Amino acid sequence: GGGFDAHAVERKWQQRWEQADPFKAGGPEDTRPRKYVLAMFPYPSGDLHMGHAENYLYSDIVARFWRHRGYNVLNPIGWDSFGLPAENAAIKRGADPREWTYDNIAQQKTGFRSYGVSFDWNRVLHTSDPDYYQWNQWLFQRLHERGLAYRKDASVNWDPVDQTVLANEQVLPDGTSERSGAVVVKKKLEQWYFKITDYADRLLDDLNQLEGRWPQKVIRMQRNWIGRSVGADIDFEIEGRDEKVTVFSTRPDTLHGATFFVVAPESDLAAELAAGASKQVQERFAEYLESVGRQTEIERQSTDRPKTGVFLERYAINPANGERLPVWAADYVLADYGHGAVMAVPAHDQRDLDFARAFDLPVKVVVDTTAPITGAIPVIDLDEEGNPVDPLADDPSLDDLDPARTGVALAGEGRMINSGSLDGLSKRNAIARMIEELEAKGAGRASKSYRLRDWLISRQRFWGTPIPMIHTDDGRIVPVPEDQLPLTLPDAAGLDLAPKGTSPLGAATDWVETVDPETGRPARRDPDTMDTFVDSSWYFLRFLSPGDPNEAFSPAEAMKWAPVDFYIGGVEHAILHLLYARFITKVLYDMGLVDFTEPFSSLINQGMIILGGTKMSKSKGNLVVFQDELDAHGADALRVALAFAGPVEDDKDWNDVSTTGAQKFLSRAWRVAHDVTSAPDVVWKDGDVGLRRITHRLLADAPTLVEQTKFNVVVARLMELVNATRKVIDTGAGAADPAVREAAEATAMILDLFAPHTAEEMWETLGYEPFVGLVPWRHADPTLLVEESVTAVVQINGKVRATLEVPARIEPDALEKLAREDARVVRALGDKTIARAIVRAPKVVSFSAN
Ligand code: ANZ
């Protein structure tokens, strides 16, 4: 009797947890050490799905583990609840984005409860609540005071479908919007930016702190995204222009090889220079500019496209040698990288060479790439007769390599030639020398360039944080006064939310019209809302003092809890979210509000749940629905099946996820507890030693395995333990054996990480009060961890010469080595040597010696 009804058991424990609130993090009076465990908070896009099931399972395993290990654990949950999907859904159904958002949140909350996740439900936050987003406004104003939030009129990424601007990070490598899939176009607009570029060096250098603690791939992606290049800024005079023009170059050593000069067509400089050219060139330039505007970023950057450009009838002066360089406008130079202009060195840069060949411009070699570089010792090959081969005999001469003829730029290292004072130097020394000379002349300096752009945060949409700034009628832009914060969103009813390129808030007359706080004259509020990545850039701090009406977060609490010890989420956040959170953390550090510079001490990217080798999706009709699986098998079976399916970081095919296997395992585990007949206060020291060894080895090994996130291995070991226990009950010492109780208790405690409802039920069945989730980890008895040993016999020519105590599982090679090194064996061998060894581990080693 007494079958195991998973659904009834799960409902029962979910109710108990809800009543007793056992997973609430301890407050200031709690002296235990702390662990902050966090899974990236969900977007309320609908019901929970399998991706959520996996993500929040892993963080829950870790949170539960640290509780057993005696830590005060914070495992909070909140919702990233501003954003376009809510707004688009509202437009489609003529509803308020609030309704859609909070309905979905309610559903997801229920989903998490029925999945048995041990969240601290007292700290729930929604970024779309005024009590959260007022602090985005606070943050914006602090950034503004520090010059880190500013307005810029620039060419921005425009999504023609969603009718809003996008950050660079939201444009995919193929030039489409990560949200709508539309091809992103450029549009000139004045927008708000956060000056993340001020932090480029720190964002890059601090990645070193994260080596080994973040996935290597994420660190690499962040490095590439920031894209620091080291080189020089070089100032060029332009004939007939007062101000010099600066270019960025990674190869100032090649300055003598510059033969022309190129400016980005859409730069102000190009327009200015073209305006001074002949009518004919003015017309050609205007046409060119238009054709450039029609191209996508990808087309523009593709290298195999014929080079195009317009000569602007002007000349730049090479500061190294006074040579006149024709100035061209060409689209292979980008307006927003470096200074939007380049010195072209066609002999040593492929893009410049392609351009030079297309327009018949001179090519001047200044690096002899055939000359050996510092003291390198050539490897001498021998010919068939054994005579040394001249290592340079078959090498092409510099003439053979002439880039103007071959079309291949000489990008490699070598010695400087045709470069005056630089001649003979290596690249490295030539760069240093050139920078020195330029500095002496006041014509250049060492410099760095970054791929990273400032973070465009204005969005022309409704469902986001209103930007807390006022535009006065005399053109000033001033902060919304503190006593008017939070600046809450107006009611969506009556507003047209449909994308039309301007913010819907602009049409909310009552809302947008205000007064200039200084003069009292009529003024307008900024109608844009913030990028939702602002919301998620600091949310992990809000969990530390949720609902605090006086500050965004408590620096004292942050000191105690943060940085986050264990952060987990999808690799799709490898750049955007993590970069922004790192940036804002550094700003808060500079403001003296936190005492750390990196928000997430360790990071894990979980793999995806796929099906039949491909991504699951509604449109493909291969979606495995979370709620259906819960209904069919229960939360614990789903949790165990997912945890067991493979390594955390790997994609897991649903075909390999066995919920029925997990169900069977769970009933076996519960059955073991049910069968135990010894009393609860049994001493952990007696009983079947074989079973005790398995129990204690798992108690000893599981902590390391969990810390290494090898959850699947722990589940496998639990299965082994349950099977071993069953065997002792059925065919061994029986259910009354103390070792059986010990095994069942250890199983319940460790199973709590994966199948908390079943574990609680087992614990209660074993005669204890709830909650097993709070039980301290049982320590392994070290005497039970010593491996069983056996006696091995060593024979020499058939005579027993020694016996050895060795581990029962010793490998043959290790056993042979021990035997050869044994003093008695060495003595018995005398001057004989071993000719042959026969090893039968662990019992016998037999040497033939002569
Ligand atoms: C002269 C030179 C000679 C260069 C040479 C390279 C090789 P990374 O490494 O990506 O930072 N450059 C500078 N600004 C540019 C812009 N706005 N658009 C397109 N190209 C630009 O690239 C730096 C190099 O890219 C710079 O160094 C410059 O060309 C070019 F043998 O200067 B170089």
**Minimal CA–CA distance to 36: which of 748, 594, 644, 638?**
594
Helix or strand (DSSP H, E) at 432: helix 427-441
Q: Cα(447) to centroid of ligand 1, in Å?
A: 13
Among 136-140, 333-337, 451-455, 581-585, name the one with the lowest average pLDDT: 333-337
Is 293's pLDDT higher than 90?
no
Between 480 and 389, name the one with better pLDDT: 480
Residue nearest atom 5 in ligand 1 by C-alpha distance: 349
Task: Choose the residue to mutate in 226, 229, 248 for probing ligand 1, maximizing ligand atoms within 8 Å of C-beta.
Answer: 248
Nearest to 195 by CA among 470, 587, 576: 587
Q: How far apart are the CA of 250 and the centre of ligand 1, in A? A: 6
**Which one of 228, 234, 251, 262 would you pick to mutate in the ligand 1 pocket, going by the greatest count of ligand atoms within 8 A of its CB?**
251
> For position 575, what pLDDT does the model report?
92
Q: Which atom of ligand 1 is nearest to the CA of 344?
A: 1
Shortest-distance Cα residue to atom 19 of ligand 1: 333
**Cα–Cα distance between 803 and 797 in angstroms, integer?**
15
- State which ligand 1 atom lies nearest to the alpha carbon of 409: 31
Atom of ligand 1 nearest to the CA of 341: 17
Taking the centre of ligand 1 as the mean of its atom positions, its distance from the CA of residue 249, in whole angstroms, is 5
Q: Ligand 1, residue 332: give the atom nearest the CA.
A: 19
Residue 793, C-beta contacts closer than 8 angstroms, at least 6 positions apart: 800, 802, 803, 843, 844, 845
The average pLDDT across 799-809 equals 89
- Residue 335 CA, closest ligand 1 atom number: 17
Q: Which atom of ligand 1 is nearest to the CA of 340?
A: 17
Predicted confidence at residue 93, as pLDDT, reads 84
For residue 697, which of 787, 772, 775 has the smallest C-alpha distance? 787
- pLDDT value of position 1: 40
Ligand 1: centre distance to CA 343 (Å): 8
| Sequence-ordered list of residues with C-beta below 8 angstroms from that of 36, at least 6 positions apart, any chain | 73, 74, 540, 561, 562, 563, 564, 565, 566
What is the tens place of the pLDDT at every residue in 31-49? 999 999 999 999 999 899 9
618 annotated among ligand-binding-site residues: yes
More confident residue, 273 or 679: 273
- Whether 544 and 557 have beta carbons less than 8 Å apart is answered as yes
pLDDT tens digit sequence for 618-644: 888 888 999 999 999 999 999 999 999
Average pLDDT over residues 388-396: 66
pLDDT at 374 over 70: no
Residues 247-263 pLDDT 10s: 999 999 999 999 999 99
- 248 C-alpha to ligand 1 centroid (Å): 7
Q: Distance, CA 637 to ligand 1 centroid (Å)? A: 57
pLDDT of 88 > 90? The answer is: no
**Ligand 1: residue whose CA is nearest its atom 12:** 342
Q: Atom 22, ligand 1: which residue's CA is nearest?
A: 250
CA dihedral (771, 777, 778, 783) in degrees, to 10, reads 170
Cα of 342 vs centre of ligand 1, distance in Å, is 7
Q: Measured in angstroms, how far is the CA atom of residue 247 from the centroid of ligand 1? A: 9
Instruction: Report pLDDT for 684.
Output: 67
Task: Enter the CATH code of domain 228-450.
Answer: 3.90.740.10
Structure tokens at 447: 């410099």
Q: What is the DSSP string of 133-145?
A: HHHHHHHHHHHHH
Nearest CA to ligand 1 atom 10: 229
Cβ contact 720:771 at 8 Å: no
pLDDT at 2 (0 to 100): 52
Pocket of ligand 1 (CB under 6 A): 229, 248-251, 254, 333-334, 337-338, 340, 342-343, 345, 348-349, 449
Q: Which two tokens stand for residue 292?
A: 């450039």
Q: Which CATH class is domain 640-784?
A: mainly alpha
pLDDT reading at 384 higher than 50: yes
Counting runs of H as helices and runs of E as strands, what totals does the chain give?
Answer: 28, 32
pLDDT at 622: 84
* Per-residue pLDDT tens over the stretch 711-720: 999 999 999 9
Q: Where along the chain do its domains lie?
A: 137-195+454-532, 228-450, 640-784, 789-849
| pLDDT bracket for residue 499 (50, 70, 90) | confident
Mean pLDDT of the chain: 93
Cα–Cα distance, 489 to 511 (Å, whole number): 8
Predicted confidence band at 520 (pLDDT cuts at 50, 70, 90)? very high
| b/e per residue 211-250 (b: at least 16 CB within 10 A) | eeebbeebbebbeebbebeebbbbbbbbeeeeeebbbbbb
pLDDT in tens, 655-698: 999 999 999 999 999 999 999 998 887 666 789 999 999 999 99
Q: Among 532-541, 578-587, 789-798, which is the least confidently predicted range?
A: 789-798
What share of the chain has pLDDT > 90, as a percent?
81
* Atom in ligand 1 nearest the alpha carbon of residue 231: 27
Res. 550 pLDDT band, cuts 50 70 90: very high
SS3 504: helix
C-alpha 207 to ligand 1 mean position (Å): 25
At residue 397, the pLDDT reads 85
Residue from 236, 250, 422 to probe ligand 1 pocket by mutation (most atoms less than 8 Å from CB): 250
Query: How is domain 789-849 classified at the architecture level of CATH?
Result: Roll (3.10)
What contacts 349, CB < 8 A, 6 or more positions away?
251, 254, 409, 411
As given in the structure block, the two tokens for residue 191 are 């927008």
